[in-house]
Structure 1
Amino acid sequence: MAGEIPDLHAQERTGTGKGAARAARRANLVPGIVFGGEKEPLPINLPYNDLIKRLRAGRFKSRLFNLKVDGHEDVRVICRDVQRDVVKDLPTHVDFMRLRRTSKINLYIPVEFINEDKCPGLRKGGVMTVVRPEVELMVTAGDIPEKVVADLEGLEIGDTLTISSVPLPEGAKKTIDRDFVICNITAPSALAAASDEDEVTETEVIEQNAETVEGEND
């Protein structure tokens, strides 16, 4: 399980329609709806400040939440839409979908890098550049993996680690067909700069030799 699924607290909204929604916004709340799961839709209100904080953290529409509403059983939900004010770009309404334990969903799973001490490229002074600290996977709601493990053992400077080289958790599938990069091992900046200088010097020598030959021919 991917750590502990974060709680999302909300209040049941007693009224419906534009009037109730406007009243909620005046009270610093954001109206929303919870649907699916063979149950009736449940109108809710979310604390504005908490919602803004979660939206700014990113990946809000790809994260699983444990929704807690007084008087109702906790339920796992995922956001399906965030409506925003066209002028202020602030949230005005949020749609959530209930999930069964067997539901298939796309979530971002963190990547853990191991065996850095067994990576020749890093021991030689190379630098690991993480391209994807998280990867989007299709997983089962009742069996969400905690992480994806990327093994750095044996990687040299210039090597790249792609998703095809990383074992995925059981039951998980990648959502992108192509073989994308997870990280790469690059030369330290000083070494790279020295290499560039060597190339420039070699080019200058070749050019000078060519000019010398042309002068002799004249």
Structure 2
Amino acid sequence: MKSLHLILLLEFSMKFIATARSVQGSSASRRLRRAGRVPAIVYGGTAAPLNIELDHNEIYHALRKEEFHASILQMQLEGSKDEQVLLRSVQWHAYKPQVLHVDFQRVDANQALRTKVPLHFVNAEISPAVKLAGAMISHVTTELEITCLPKALPQFIEVDLANILAGASIHLADIKLPMGVTYVPHGGEDNPLLAAAIVKGGAAAADDEAEAAPAA
């Protein structure tokens, strides 16, 4: 029986090998876990849901990689053709570092998908807020739910903080989303707050920073 093999490709897509499982139920799942395996399922598309099993240690370490959560994954199932899937959910043990179950969804290259991607905040250390006022950058939003075709799925969305001033904030409208990517609003909020430069001392410190900043 082959275990799960994860291969980081040049374009950061991931490939893994899984084994089909025919025995289902709580007792069968417990036996798998005792043997160092993880029960999982693949659903979606026109095919029926498929029960698979994965090697625990390898999927555990894969789940610690951010790109595994926001990439199109290529699943190689023994005896079947490759399928593109997306990680959908993970069930963890309540207090042990143990993966109990994993859900994957099949991906259709011609059908838009909906998922969450992380935000990467860059250049805070060279911003006027940090350099001149010693501000602390608060990452208010750490991920966004988006919709796009699979080929347009970004592993992350970059938020450039190079020009943020003390006391200022950055909203979604202040950044450019990757081509083909659309934000999915929640609760009627179509321009969420992403980051804020918080200054000790409040407005007075922010005013001092503004005076010290070079004129444009």
2:105 is aligned, of 63, 85, 97, to 97
Higher Rg? 1
Q: Which structure: greater helix fraction?
A: 1
- Is 1:69 matched with 2:81? no
> Aligned equivalents of 1:77 and 1:5: distance in 2?
11
Q: Tell me the equivalent position of 2:214.
A: none
- Is 1:17 matched with 2:24? yes
> Aligned equivalents of 1:125 and 1:53: distance in 2?
40
Q: Tell me the equivalent position of 2:134.
A: 126
Cα shift at 1:46: 0.8
> Aligned equivalents of 1:20 and 1:71: distance in 2?
22
> Aligned equivalents of 2:39 and 2:128: distance in 1?
54
Equivalent residues of 1:121, 1:156 under 8 A apart? yes
- In structure 2, do the counterparts of structure 1 residues 115 and 48 end up closer, same or farther at CA, with 3 Å as the change threshold? closer
- Is 1:113 matched with 2:122? yes
Q: Tell me the equivalent position of 1:36.
A: 44
Equivalent residues of 2:169, 2:193 under 8 A apart? yes
Q: Tell me the equivalent position of 1:204.
A: none
Q: Tell me the equivalent position of 2:198.
A: 186
Cα shift at 1:30: 1.4
Cα shift at 1:29: 0.8
> Aligned equivalents of 2:94 and 2:160: distance in 1?
45
Query: Scaled by the length of structure 2, what TM-score is found?
Result: 0.66
| 2:152 counterpart SS class | coil
Cα shift at 1:82: 4.2
Q: How many positions carry a matched residue from both structures?
A: 188
Amino acid at match of 1:65: L
Equivalent residues of 1:105, 1:141 under 8 A apart? no
Q: Tell me the equivalent position of 2:159.
A: 150
* RMSD (CA atoms): 3.6
Cα shift at 1:100: 0.7
Amino acid at match of 2:83: V
Cα shift at 1:103: 3.1
> Aligned equivalents of 2:132 and 2:95: distance in 1?
53
- In structure 2, do the counterparts of structure 1 residues 184 and 93 end up closer, same or farther at CA, with 3 Å as the change threshold? closer
Alignment gaps of 5+ in structure 2: 1-10, 206-216
- Is 1:173 matched with 2:185? no
Amino acid at match of 2:195: C
> Aligned equivalents of 1:156 and 1:21: distance in 2?
53
Q: Tell me the equivalent position of 2:58.
A: 50
Query: Scaled by the length of structure 1, what TM-score is found?
Result: 0.66
